[in-house]
Structure 1
Amino acid sequence: MAVSAAESEHDLLSRYLDSYRGAIKWKVQGLTRDEATRSMVPSGTSLLGILKHMAYVEQGWFQEVIAGRVLESVSTEEEFAVADDETIDGLMAAFDGACATSREILAERRLDEMVPFRGGQLAIRDVVVHMIEETARHAGQMDILREQIDGQTGGFPPGGLPWS
């Protein structure tokens, strides 16, 4: 994709967020369920657990904070825990669905629009910038976990750089 100097801030931030979403998905692709749930760190974090967590993060920030929807409360531990009946395809679909809903919500809003947050107000721009940071941070964690599992390195899938 060619980057244009005339690109809006809204489109620029959306493009970066989508690039990091793609990196999250790429780190799980091509693995078996056993590999994707393997924990290589004392915290028990796994690639599939991070993917599941990121679906909840998308829902929390876009559906709850921006759209004002009330969703079922889930603990952080539950967000990362992969149940025996959860599959890579199922959690990938949940993440894809959450991201699609986030895109729809964001498309209807302005970045300078304020939303209620923890007794105050928060600009939607702040939510989007935070989501870029949050998604990039977890993608980086996934880089290390994936390298420990099968040696794959690289932050983005081919053609997935935000500026490509």
Structure 2
Amino acid sequence: MTDQPKAILKRYLQRDREALLWKIDGVRERDARLPRTPTGTSLVGIVKHCANVEIGYFGLTFDRAWPTPEDACYVPLTAYDDDPQADWYLPAEVSTGDLVDFYRRVWEFSDAAIDGLPLDATGAPPWWGPAADNQVTLQHMLVRVIDDLARHLGQADVIRESVDGAVGLDPLHPNIPDDGFDWAAYLAKLTRIARRFPEE
């Protein structure tokens, strides 16, 4: 294990990427697409959003265009003028498998920038306003994307559990009590504690 800052950041970025794809692995197409919150959050929406965030922050920010703009999962900046939620759902003709393939290609695109630029390389996200006022470093973008991805991975954790009960950090490290844990008793305990407080 290396202690180099870029290697550490890349390791956490990749861990979260893989965990996010695990959250949609094996989920039926309908369940992956159904909105699960009043604002329409879905598993495929989270993945599509995170993929396009990477394209923006590791691509456009450093003057690198997405090489295949015809991709059905790619959302150019101009698309948000007509649909501000364009990166949060899949059209019916695009499958979850297509999205997974797209996201993996996004990783390669992003990693090329990460590997090819020093951490102090500067760029400017064009949607933040004039470039002169919004200079950022690659290190800043790595931290920002890891932070954003971790937030959305938490949403995916909760949604996936509500779909089929699958939980955990990843298939090998669930990070929850072992099989046999009495979840019913645990939930009853938490409910008893909560009910000690008034509803209003």
State the TM-score, normalizing by the size of structure 1: 0.88
Q: Deviations over 1:140-160 (max 9, x none)?
A: 000000011111111334269
The match for 2:73 is none
CA distance in 2, matches of 1:142, 1:14: 21
Deviation at 1:58, TM superposition (A): 1.1
Deviation at 1:122, TM superposition (A): 0.7
Kindly report which structure 2 residues correspond to 1:1-164, keeping only aligned pairs within 5 A, or say none: 3-4=1-2, 7-69=3-65, 72-73=76-77, 74-75=79-80, 76-117=84-125, 118=129, 119=131, 120=133, 121-158=135-172
Is the contact made by 1:22 and 1:160 (CA closer than 8 Å) also made in structure 2?
no
CA distance in 2, matches of 1:97, 1:160: 27
Q: Which has the higher contact order (CA 8 A, sep 6+)?
A: 1
Is the contact made by 2:20 and 2:156 (CA closer than 8 Å) also made in structure 1?
yes
Q: Deviations over 1:34-79 (max 9, x none)?
A: 1111222111111011111111111111111124437732324110
CA distance in 1, matches of 2:43, 2:55: 19
CA distance in 2, matches of 1:109, 1:160: 34
Give the residue type in structure 1 aligned to 2:89. A
Give the residue type in structure 2 aligned to 1:139. L
Rg larger for: 2
**SS state at 2:24 partner:** coil
Unaligned runs of 5+ in 2: 70-75, 176-200
Moved more, 69-78 or 94-103: 69-78
Is the contact made by 1:67 and 1:105 (CA closer than 8 Å) also made in structure 2?
no
**SS state at 1:69 partner:** coil
Give the residue type in structure 2 aligned to 1:86. V
Is the contact made by 2:46 and 2:88 (CA closer than 8 Å) also made in structure 1?
yes
CA distance in 2, matches of 1:44, 1:31: 18
CA distance in 2, matches of 1:111, 1:60: 17
The match for 2:196 is none
CA distance in 2, matches of 1:156, 1:17: 14
Unaligned runs of 5+ in 1: none
Q: Percent identity?
A: 27
**SS state at 1:56 partner:** helix
Q: CA RMSD in A?
A: 1.9
